[in-house]
Amino acid sequence: MAIARNELLDYLNQQLNVGRINDFCPNGLQVEGKENIQQIVTGVTASQALLDQAVSVGADAVLVHHGYFWKNEAAPVTGMKQRRIKTLLQHNINLLAYHLPLDVHAQFGNNAQLARLMGWSTQGTADPNDPACALMLGGCSEISSDGLKAQLEERLQRPLTCYVAKPGKLTRLAWCTGGGQGFIDKAAALGVDGFITGEVSEQTVHSAREQGIAFFAAGHHATERYGVKALGQHLQQQFDLQVQFIDIDNPA
Ligand SMILES: [Zn+2]
């Protein structure tokens, strides 16, 4: 089956509450290609490697979490940016990107999907009045911080990039997939035992040690594989499309 691009976009924009979320990039159609879409490649980032794979499988659209045209990015279409956009235009491939809407969605969000993968319960976000709040709160069954580290490494299939242990057992958790390390002080103030995100900064480690909170940097890419993958699987069922998730590994 094929679907009209505009019908697919209307569906996605509505499902993902795009109109209610302020973001640092345009969400939805970023580069226009074919009018009808039958085959979709999903991935974390619209890198050249992902685009090349999309071309080789004959995709009509690429659906990603990290697209282009970020606030503060240089506007000229030159160099790496030119090559990526040229690849899409030459092959008439649509680029669909959803950033924050695909972090915070209750079902397809990266935060919700990480909780699902890890078996954590979710209690909503730190700010229920903000539709873009990406700091999730929830819990796990009693586990030591070493135990949670091992579990994260096993389920995400990669070593943590940074880890700060806390004595005793953890039950209350906060998490934000991707580059969410700036939320650590908010998480500590909310009284959680452990905070999980993708990346780490130098000051994150001091925040964790001095506020007695366990900290896990599990990889920006690794924690953000699951939202777009789940969304793609949903589209496959909903519209009878051919969808494949392609993981272009990234150690960061
Ligand atoms: Zn991200």
Distances (CA, A) of 169 to 145, 151, 163, 204: 7, 14, 16, 21
What spacing in Å lies between the alpha carbon of 45 and ligand 1's midpoint?
Answer: 8
What are 107-112's contacts with CB under 8 Å, separation 24+?
A: 107/230, 108/15, 108/16, 108/227, 108/230, 108/231, 108/234, 109/227, 110/65, 110/177, 110/178, 110/223, 110/224, 110/226, 110/227, 111/136, 111/175, 111/176, 111/177, 112/136, 112/227
DSSP structure class, residue 181? G
What spacing in Å lies between the alpha carbon of 156 and ligand 1's midpoint?
Answer: 16
Q: Where are the domains of the chain?
A: 3-98+225-245, 120-218
What spacing in Å lies between the alpha carbon of 27 and ligand 1's midpoint?
Answer: 13
Looking at the predicted structure, is the pLDDT value of residue 41 above 90?
yes
Class of the CATH-defined domain 3-98+225-245 = alpha beta
What spacing in Å lies between the alpha carbon of 133 and ligand 1's midpoint?
Answer: 14
Looking at the predicted structure, is the pLDDT value of residue 50 above 90?
yes
Average pLDDT, the chain: 97
- Structure confidence by residue, pLDDT tens digits, 79-114: 999 999 999 999 999 999 999 999 999 999 999 999
What spacing in Å lies between the alpha carbon of 216 and ligand 1's midpoint?
Answer: 16
How far apart are alpha carbons 183 and 126 in whole angstroms? 10
Question: Sign of torsion, CA 23 133 219 16?
Answer: negative
> Quick one: how far is CA 103 from the chain centroid?
5
What spacing in Å lies between the alpha carbon of 182 and ligand 1's midpoint?
Answer: 13
Looking at the predicted structure, is the pLDDT value of residue 73 above 90?
yes
Cβ-based neighbours of 60, under 8 Å, separated by 6 or more:
2, 33, 34, 36, 37, 38, 39, 40, 92, 93, 94
Quote the crossing angle between the two packed helices 110-118 and 145-156, to the nearest 10°: 110
Cβ-based neighbours of 239, under 8 Å, separated by 6 or more:
1, 3, 8
What spacing in Å lies between the alpha carbon of 1 and ligand 1's midpoint?
Answer: 31
Does domain 120-218 fall under CATH 3.30.1460.30? My reply is no
**pLDDT recorded at residue 120:** 98
How far apart are alpha carbons 62 and 64 in whole angstroms? 6
What spacing in Å lies between the alpha carbon of 62 and ligand 1's midpoint?
Answer: 17
What spacing in Å lies between the alpha carbon of 168 and ligand 1's midpoint?
Answer: 31
What spacing in Å lies between the alpha carbon of 142 and ligand 1's midpoint?
Answer: 29
Cα-flanking dihedrals φ and ψ of residue 125, to 5°?
A: -95, 170
DSSP structure class, residue 182? G
What spacing in Å lies between the alpha carbon of 103 and ligand 1's midpoint?
Answer: 8
Residue 219 — pLDDT band, cuts 50, 70, 90?
Answer: very high
What spacing in Å lies between the alpha carbon of 65 and ligand 1's midpoint?
Answer: 7
Cβ neighbours, 10 Å, residue 168: 11
Average pLDDT over residues 243-247: 98
What spacing in Å lies between the alpha carbon of 117 and ligand 1's midpoint?
Answer: 18
Looking at the predicted structure, is the pLDDT value of residue 166 above 90?
yes
What spacing in Å lies between the alpha carbon of 219 and ligand 1's midpoint?
Answer: 10
Looking at the predicted structure, is the pLDDT value of residue 1 above 90?
no
Question: Sign of torsion, CA 58 156 107 252?
Answer: negative
What spacing in Å lies between the alpha carbon of 64 and ligand 1's midpoint?
Answer: 10
120-218 matches 3-98+225-245 in CATH topology: yes
What spacing in Å lies between the alpha carbon of 185 and ligand 1's midpoint?
Answer: 20
Cα-flanking dihedrals φ and ψ of residue 215, to 5°?
A: -135, 140
**pLDDT recorded at residue 117:** 98
Residue 54 — pLDDT band, cuts 50, 70, 90?
Answer: very high
